Structure 1
Amino acid sequence: MAHIQSAGTAVFAADTALKSAVKEYATQIEGALASNPFDVGNDALFEEWKNVACLSQAVSRIEQELRQIFDAAAQITSAKQIAAPTPHRISTDPVSLISEVTATDVVAKSSTGRPSGNSLLVLGALLTLLTESEFREINISAVAMATGVAQGSMAATLKRLIRDGYLLEASKGQYKLTGRG
């Protein structure tokens, strides 16, 4: 899981750098076209801009794939069951039967239910962006950047907040608060 998160962080950094480069190329193209729209060098600059934009889109797709891989790995990890150890006989005393058993009620412990760690950071940011009345689309990358949470951890954190009853998800990327936060 940690390696997938590291890969997600690296891809996120590459995606951010490429998006910045696309913006810089766009600014250069605007300046070049404003100063001399018929310059031969403008075509080469435009081609470079298109190539960088294609790279940026490819890295964004890789980031989405890593997010899906992380989600799948998180589900597999949470589904793992530890095998019970085999019992060992300590003594050779004969087994006696119990003739009467009294039933007792089990009292469920209340969970703390309070988010911590990444969940607390992300929920704090979402409290400023979302309401209880309507679903809103959020930019997960922007929330990750604002909170300092690794991009690869965002999907798992959002799933945890949904599972714990802090958020509701309408469709991919659209959330609203439940009132629990």
Structure 2
Amino acid sequence: MSVTADTLSFIQQAGQSIDAARQALVEAVAQQGQLVASAVVEQPFGAGNDKLFAQWKTLARLAQEVQSIEEQFKTIYETASALKAREIQVLAALPHAPRHRPATRGDAVDEAIIKEVIVKTKGARKLPKRSNGKVSANAETSTQALAGNHATVLDFLRTQLNRKSWKPLTHATMAKGSGIPAGSVGASLARLKKDGLILTDDKGAYKLA
């Protein structure tokens, strides 16, 4: 069974819910940390401090586990998107079914028209140029293959980043700036990093490749 648009939408909705859960847990960890700090200051040897600290550790572990699940969903969404795109390309390349009737002059005209059909990529985008003014073959191939949310996020990042310095950006900022759901940002970033169009560090900062 192929990946349909509905299936892709369900995966995207699940990813958005997981992202919302992760953000809620991160906020809960921060709040619990404040409670622990206040309790230690007010009563350094209070009987309830150990319990508060244990709850804080549990919340932090939950946040990490949900983040791990979110990363898995990013991969799932990206893979499903690729399958859907591949299905469309295969269908477009299928030959016409043989006609069960004698060939006519009209058939010859139809075949001529079919041969002249050229599938053009919609929304062609300018390719990133290097300092010497040349465009790398990898960048050209990656940019032409981008579509949908991936291309939208890349357009936004090009308005915010450069190749010289790192700039921290959150998923929420990218979602708001590019106009796509927050749950879809991760999959687009993974694709852009895989194609070598952006770079990221372990502190949540980005720059153009």
> How does the TM-score come out when normalised to structure 1?
0.70
1:71 aligns with 2:78: yes
Structure 2 CA distance for aligned equivalents of residues 160 and 57 of structure 1? 22
Structure 1 CA distance for aligned equivalents of residues 149 and 159 of structure 2? 16
Q: CA deviation at 1:72?
A: 1.3
Structure 1 CA distance for aligned equivalents of residues 12 and 58 of structure 2? 27
1:89 aligns with 2:103: no
Q: CA deviation at 1:54?
A: 0.7
- Given that residues 144 and 150 in structure 1 are in contact (C-alpha distance below 8 angstroms), is that contact kept between their aligned partners in structure 2? no
Q: CA deviation at 1:89?
A: 3.5
Higher Cα radius of gyration: 1
Residue in 1 that maps onto 2:34: 27
Structure 2 CA distance for aligned equivalents of residues 118 and 141 of structure 1? 13
Q: CA deviation at 1:113?
A: 1.9
Which of the pair is proportionally richer in helix? Answer: 2
The one-letter amino acid paired with 2:97 is T
- Given that residues 168 and 176 in structure 1 are in contact (C-alpha distance below 8 angstroms), is that contact kept between their aligned partners in structure 2? no
The one-letter amino acid paired with 2:56 is W
Structure 1 CA distance for aligned equivalents of residues 104 and 152 of structure 2? 57
> How does the TM-score come out when normalised to structure 2?
0.61
- Aligned counterparts, 1:43-62, within 5 A: 43-62=50-69
- Given that residues 167 and 205 in structure 2 are in contact (C-alpha distance below 8 angstroms), is that contact kept between their aligned partners in structure 1? yes
Distance 1:144 1:11, change over 3 A: farther
- Given that residues 192 and 198 in structure 2 are in contact (C-alpha distance below 8 angstroms), is that contact kept between their aligned partners in structure 1? no
Q: CA deviation at 1:76?
A: 1.6
Residue in 2 that maps onto 1:130: 161
Aligned residues: 166
Q: CA deviation at 1:143?
A: 3.5
- Given that residues 199 and 208 in structure 2 are in contact (C-alpha distance below 8 angstroms), is that contact kept between their aligned partners in structure 1? no
Structure 2 CA distance for aligned equivalents of residues 131 and 78 of structure 1? 30
The one-letter amino acid paired with 2:197 is L
Distance 1:23 1:145, change over 3 A: farther
Which runs of 5 or more residues in structure 2 are unaligned?
1-7, 106-115, 126-145
Distance 1:109 1:129, change over 3 A: closer
Structure 1 CA distance for aligned equivalents of residues 161 and 176 of structure 2? 15
The CA deviation string for residues 75-103 of structure 1, in whole angstroms up to 9 with x for no partner, is: 22222222444121344669xxxxxxxxx
Specify the SS of the correspondent of 2:100. coil
Which runs of 5 or more residues in structure 1 are unaligned?
95-104
The one-letter amino acid paired with 2:99 is H
